Amino acid sequence: MSLNHSKFETELQVRPDDIDMNQHVHGSRYFDYVLAARYDQMERCYGMSMEEFARHGLGWFIKTAHVHYKRALQIGERFVVRTWVEDIRRTDVVVKFEILRKSNGKVCCDGHFEYAMISLATGRAEEIPDWIVQRYSI
Residues that bind its own copies (CB under 8 A): 15-17, 19-23, 26-29, 31-32, 35-36, 39-40, 50, 59, 61-69, 75-76
Report in angstroms how near the CB of residue 67 gets to its own copies at its nearest. Answer: 5
State which residue, 50 or 107, has the beta carbon closest to its own copies.
50
Name, in order, each residue with C-beta under 8 angstroms of 70's C-beta and a sequence gap of 6 or more.
106, 107, 108, 109, 110
Report in angstroms how near the CB of residue 100 gets to its own copies at its nearest. Answer: 18
Element (H, E) at 135: helix 130-136
Closest residue by Cα to residue 70 from 45, 43, 106: 106
3-class DSSP state of 58: strand
Report in angstroms how near the CB of residue 138 gets to its own copies at its nearest. Answer: 21
State which residue, 3 or 54, has the beta carbon closest to its own copies.
54
